[in-house]
A and B are shown apart, each in its own frame.
Chain A
Amino acid sequence: MKIRRRSKLLVEPPTHATGDIAFNLIVFFLVCASVQPETGREQEIPRADPKQEQSQQSENIEVSLTRNTVAINGTPVRMESFPQQLKSLLQGKRNASERIVVVKSKPDTPYEFWIAITGRIEELGGYVTLLLEEERTITLQ
């Protein structure tokens, strides 16, 4: 007499939780993708020093920016030759104070242009500092 086995040898894995597993995986990847750290460029701008002598200020390299032009020490330069000219001015200056580059921007200078120029200055070893117009309240009597 042939005895039939009651139990099946082939057991299928439980699949009723597959939808939940897939959904949770999607959520995990969404959360991981949304908490990526920000990337950017560090910058150190020296604090304003009111005691800095006028003579020292006049020795610093001055870069003037408008909406789409750049000038070094008052002389307009082409964008292509800006790195070369700045490099030659910074050459031989070993002290940090000698490598300060004063960046003066017109009010409508766009941020992207400012970032590009200051990035080049820092790549060439210059230290960027800002020249802002001072506001003073004058009382008329």
Chain B
Amino acid sequence: MKLKRRSISAEVPSMAMGDIAFNLLIFFFILARAQDDSHHQWKPATTNKADTASHVRAVVLVDVENKLYLDNQEISISQLGDKLERLLEGYPTGQRTVLLKISREAPASRFEPILAAVSEVGGELLHVLEKKDH
């Protein structure tokens, strides 16, 4: 008597392919966030009340080592004005917000020229501050 073998079919399980693709999209979306400056160390100053930022065109950061960054790129104070002017070009008043993330211990010799440079090019300052816990 000839016994027939059952045909063994080996298929790649494709049920989870949709989930895998979706998760990969999410991972790359998180990694590719353009304004991610979480690796810079800075300690925010505090305030009693805070407004929410809108129409942010540029982010200026001064970290705990007093290094200056514009949109995550380290620059010198002399370059700040020109670069900001290019970033703010064409935007009307009310839509030229420049976020300032300045570490609380930064001295006036560091942040005052930054404030002056942003004001000179018509940027609208928004100091990023931590709300005080009462």
Interface residues of A (CB under 8 A from B): 17, 20, 23-24, 27, 30-31, 34-35, 37-48, 65, 105-112, 114-116, 119, 130, 132
Contact = CB atoms under 8 A, between A and B. Distances in A.
A112 B45 contact: yes
Nearest to A128: B115
Contacts of B115: 45, 130
A119 B53 CA distance: 17
Given A41-B126, A116-B45, 10 more contacts: A17-B19, A27-B23, A39-B128, A40-B127, A42-B51, A43-B127, A45-B116, A110-B104, A110-B108, A132-B116
Contact of A114 (B19, B47, B111, B124): B111
Interface of B: 16, 19, 22-23, 26, 29-30, 33, 45-54, 56, 62, 99-100, 102-109, 111-113, 115-116, 119-120, 122, 124-129, 131
B108 A43 contact: no
Nearest to B97: A42
Given A23-B23, A47-B119, A130-B112, A111 B102 contact: yes
Nearest to B105: A110
B53 A115 contact: no
Given A48-B120, A110-B104, A110-B106, A40 B50 contact: yes
Contacts of A107: 107-109
Given A24-B22, A109-B107, A132 B113 contact: yes
Nearest to B19: A20
Contacts of A132: 112-113, 116
B47 A40 contact: yes
A62 to B, nearest CB: 15
A139 B62 CA distance: 33
A39 B120 contact: no
A40 to B, nearest CB: 4
Contacts of B106: 110-111
Contacts of A130: 112, 115-116
A27 B113 CA distance: 41
B125 A39 contact: no
Contacts of B62: 111
Nearest to A114: B108
Contacts of B127: 40-43, 115
Contacts of B119: 45-47
29 contacts: A23-B23, A24-B22, A30-B30, A31-B26, A34-B30, A37-B52, A37-B53, A38-B53, A39-B129, A39-B131, A40-B47, A41-B49, A41-B129, A42-B51, A42-B126, A43-B127, A46-B119, A106-B108, A110-B107, A111-B62, A111-B104, A111-B108, A112-B45, A112-B46, A115-B127, A115-B129, A116-B45, A130-B112, A132-B116
